[in-house]
Structure 1
Amino acid sequence: MYAVTDSRLTSGDRLLERVRAALRGGARWIQYRDKSTDAPRRLAEARALAKLCHEHGAGLIVNDDVELAAASGADGAHVGREDTDLESARARLGAQAVIGVSCYNRLELAKDAAARGADYVAFGSVFPSPTKPEAARADLDLLREARARLALPICAIGGIDADNAAIVAATGVDMLAVISGVFGEEDPEIAAGEIVRAMAADIGVPGL
């Protein structure tokens, strides 16, 4: 369970509160995603989130901003085609950092990222997404093919919620990245917990 923040849904004083709730619900990775230009606020928030995640035994990934990831004590960064290239991100963050790469709906991008040392690749949007309504669609068949062809962890993102989490998990992907399905809900703890239980039920984890 990989919960991704959105400044429109987790702004200001609500950020830590809602991320804490998602962690209580079972999120194991948090991605800090904030496209604003307020560098001091973003640094303060990322540092606070890194501390919070580590207190809960979870990891923090920073979206798009390798320098912010380095300065905040985050566990890594997620980069897309318009961001810092993978090699530069690795050189800046080090061998232990977790670096993910957006591959949209293109398996060849994922193969290339894997060859260049990515720690995970992300495909999406799996379903229509309120966060990125214009995003390319990566259907369930693509996720199955990616799982059959790739050895590194695979993340699915886009329109995922408690109602469809199980069918996405059934493709064999390793992580479900969720934005609105957690932070767009009134109680992120309940929403995250429902998604985690849907994923666990699909893979037959007892007691959940």
Structure 2
Amino acid sequence: MTQSRFDGRRNALSAPPVQGSRALVTLHFRTMAPTSDPTAQPTPSPRPSGSPRERLQDARLYLCTDARRDRRGGLDLLDLVRAALRGGVDIVQLRDRSLDVVEELELLAALRDLTDEHGALLAVNDRADVALAAGAAVLHTGQRDLPVPVARDLVGEKALLGRSTGGGAQAAAADADPDVDYFCVGPVRSTPTKPGRAAVGLDAVRQVAAGQPTTPWFAIGGVDLQNVRQVVEAGARRVVVVRAVTEAPDPEAAARGLRTALTRALADDAGRTSAGAGQA
């Protein structure tokens, strides 16, 4: 993706809310600006600011979570996401196919308030109609979901469109598609959140990185505090996490630890690259 692709769809669309039967749901994109509190504990790195596309470029830590309806004890969905955002998460996706549309829209309305408050991006999984109704900045689709051109026609030019890939040809196709704003590569490791999907391993991450894609991309699948440095060393600059935060006793601390480890690994990798270039 070249810079010109961002220029054409740079600013978020703002339109009056559409009146409907549920007051929580609006059909417009709001400008999401980060808030600041001088007394708050700082996150390991600054919160991305600017338009949704600018924030996507700067985003490093992406959280996927289900609705947490079957959790016995622990935090509910909103408390979990609030904690993760305080810990430094840049993008939040609600991914729960057990929800009906009304339930999903109600949860997304509450999540959007949280992501707006923290200057983060809200992503909807699979459903273009739900993304529009919720006013989410991001629609994420898989290889067996809506074709990219159809998804783009439905959500319009202002929304961000993400795509799941297993690396290789799928990643190359996503990188070459002007309608794809970011893509994911994985699962890096086998994970119960993607049953039946074989892990592509770090080799797939290395292969994608070697192709020097111009579209932002994330490594996904089994990424946690123990292996995030390996994922960065394989070439990823952004990661998606699930259980590393959702199953942590302290989701805020888990997100902050991941953000810190990711930032340090990126800095170390950049230092090695600079040193190697200097010796060449």
Question: Fold match, TM over 0.5?
Answer: yes
- Cα shift at 1:145: 1.6
- Cα shift at 1:28: 0.5
Q: Any gaps of 5 or more consecutive residues in structure 2?
A: 1-60, 269-280
Match of 1:48?
110
Match of 1:86?
148
Contact 1:30 1:60 in 2 (8 A): yes
Aligned with residue 108 of structure 1, among 152, 169, 174: 169
Match of 2:47?
none
Match of 1:137?
199
Q: Distance in 1 between the 2:130 and 2:121 partners?
A: 15
Matched pairs, number = 204
Q: Distance in 1 between the 2:190 and 2:123 partners?
A: 24
Q: 1:204 aligns to what SS in structure 2?
A: helix
Contact 2:68 2:76 in 1 (8 A): no
Pairing 1:165–2:228 present: yes
Amino acid at match of 1:58: A
Match of 1:190?
253
- Cα shift at 1:201: 0.9
Amino acid at match of 1:53: T
Pairing 1:5–2:45 present: no
Which 4+ residue blocks in structure 1 deviate beyond 4 angstroms? 8-13
Listed one character per residue, the Cα deviations across residues 19-51 of structure 1 (whole Å, up to 9, x for unaligned) are: 000000000111111111421110011121122
Which has the larger Rg?
2
Contact 1:140 1:168 in 2 (8 A): yes
- Cα shift at 1:170: 2.2
Pairing 1:96–2:158 present: yes
Q: 1:167 aligns to what SS in structure 2?
A: helix
Aligned with residue 24 of structure 1, among 86, 99, 111: 86
Listed one character per residue, the Cα deviations across residues 141-188 of structure 1 (whole Å, up to 9, x for unaligned) are: 211221121221111111111111111122232321011110011211
- Cα shift at 1:11: 6.2
Match of 1:126?
188
Q: CA RMSD of the aligned region, Å?
A: 1.9
Q: 2:140 aligns to what SS in structure 1?
A: strand
Listed one character per residue, the Cα deviations across residues 77-118 of structure 1 (whole Å, up to 9, x for unaligned) are: 1101221111111112222211111112x4111222222221
Q: Distance in 1 between the 2:253 and 2:70 partners?
A: 16
Match of 2:215?
152
Percent identity (aligned): 38
- Cα shift at 1:199: 0.4
Amino acid at match of 1:201: R
Tell me which moved more, 175-184 or 148-157: 148-157
Q: TM-score, normalised by structure 2?
A: 0.69
Q: Distance in 2 between the 1:121 and 1:37 partners?
A: 25
- Cα shift at 1:63: 1.1
Q: Any gaps of 5 or more consecutive residues in structure 1?
A: none
Q: Distance in 1 between the 2:117 and 2:63 partners?
A: 16
